[in-house]
Amino acid sequence: MTVAEVPSLILTQAAWRGDRLMEGQEWVYQLDAAQVAELETLGRRFVDADPDLRFVQAADYPLDACAEAVRSWRADVDFGRGFVLVRGLRSDLYSDTLSSAIYYVLGLHMGDPIRQNEMGDLIDHVYATSDKTMDDPTALSSKVRDKLVYHSDSSDIVALMCLRGAREGGLSCLVSGAEIYNEILRRRPDLAHLLLEPFHWDWRRQDHSAPADTYTSPVVSMEDGVFSMYAGSLYILTAQEYPGVPQLTEDQIEVLRLFDEITYEPGMAIAMDFRPGDIQWLSNYAALHSRTEFADWPEPQRKRHLLRLWLSSKTDRPVVPGFGKNGVVQHRAEARSGAEHPEARFSVRTMAVPRLIS
């Protein structure tokens, strides 16, 4: 791709600065009493039925009071700023099983859940079980208290639900991929085209049971006029350690360095402190996410605990072939090998309990 073919500035709602968004609260949706009551009723019915998470459908748990809200969240996530924070659920009064059920029902209406690891987990837990830091190549980001660099996850939509917050820290931070790209285009238009070319990404470090060391994806997709981003230079850099992976050029290293520099500039990101019951819906194509370091409570039942869903979007967003991890993710109905992992769990009652993986 030549410099002349590089997409021009992205001027949609997905290009935003955090300092400006923080001036208002349009990114927060407050559930009303009728919506909360509906979700609690559906959640209890889900727990009682205990359906197989691989096969249950949104139509099995139809929405009424929340139907228009879900449509608005999907519009914000897929075609607007790329995220919304939903507030009002009372997870401090629910069992973790009921919270998980409500969350999964909403997830079915927002998209189609996909597997988050080779064990087949459809609900995962962000719950620190290790004192490792992210400098340790064996560390899993969802199992440590260390700060995380900005990155994209492996799905169309990533969602987090807060069951319990940290004693201190643990802010969720988002930054607009389109605005990062715009700044690169303003400062180094000669390098911007490199983001549309494939990079090797470290798959093994993201999932220790991954069937290969790496996969490939560009950082930027521009398809049918739709801009999408998949980023996280850490996994591009660590992929360099595997034999056979082409070494980055000086220009590739420079554009990744500039990408990270812009990402962390003051005012670019928005930070939010999760409250119990909050749900954050986020398009992986629109915004990158990270987390600040946090201090936990000593008691296991009080530790910072988030639930995570990865969803395949129902909007069929156009992206270039092989973008992100679309080519390697597993959809929920069937395992990659055709045989389920011996530790696979597909009941909401068991999936509400975090695995003690370090």
| Three-state secondary structure readout of 27-80 | CEEECCHHHHHHHHHHHHHHHHHCCCCCCCCHHHCCCCCCHHHHHHHHHHHHHC
Phi first, then psi: give them for residue 46, nearest 5 degrees. -65, -45
Name the band, by pLDDT with cuts 50, 70 and 90, for residue 2. very low
In which band, very low, low, confident or very high, does the pLDDT at 3 lie, cut at 50, 70 and 90?
very low
Domain count, the chain: 1
Q: What is each CA distance from 67 to 14, 41, 73, 91, in whole angstroms?
A: 24, 15, 10, 21
Residue 5 forms part of a structural domain:
no
Identify whether 312 is part of a domain.
Answer: yes
Residues 150 and 154: their CA atoms lie apart, in Å, by 14
The CATH number of residue 136's host domain is 3.60.130.10
Is residue 298 scored above 80 in pLDDT?
yes
Q: Which pLDDT score, from 0 to 100, does residue 321 have?
A: 86
Residue 2 forms part of a structural domain: no
What's residue 140's pLDDT? 66
* Residue 158 forms part of a structural domain: yes
Segment 77-86 mean pLDDT? 95
Residues 353, 96 contacting (CB under 8 angstroms): yes
pLDDT confidence tier of residue 293, bands split at 50, 70 and 90:
confident
Q: Give the Cα separation of 230 and 218 in Å (integer).
A: 7
Tell me the pLDDT tens digit for each residue of 99-113.
999 999 999 999 999
How wide is the angle at C-alpha 103 spanned by C-alphas 206 and 278, nearest 5°? Answer: 85
Structural domain contains residue 231:
yes
Structural domain containing residue 170: 14-351
Q: Which residues contact 346 (CB under 8 A, 6 or more apart)?
A: 52, 53, 54, 120, 122
Given this model, what pLDDT does residue 204 score? 85
Stated pTM of the model: 0.89
Tokens of 206: 């993201």
> Is position 159 within any domain?
yes
pLDDT for residue 211: 81
Provide the mean pLDDT of the chain.
Answer: 90
Does residue 9 form part of some domain? no
* Whole-number pLDDT of residue 240: 95
Q: Specify the DSSP class assigned to residue 114.
A: B
Strand, helix or coil at 331? strand
> From start to end of 88-207, where are the E strands?
111-113, 124-126, 148-151, 157-164, 168-169, 172-176, 199-202
pLDDT above 80: residue 190: yes
Contacting residues for 269 by C-beta, under 8 A, at least 6 apart: 18, 150, 173, 174, 175, 263, 290
Confidence check: pLDDT of 232 > 90: no
Beta bridge pairs of residue 272: 172
Which residue has better confidence, 336 or 39? 39
pLDDT at residue 1 greater than cutoff 50? no
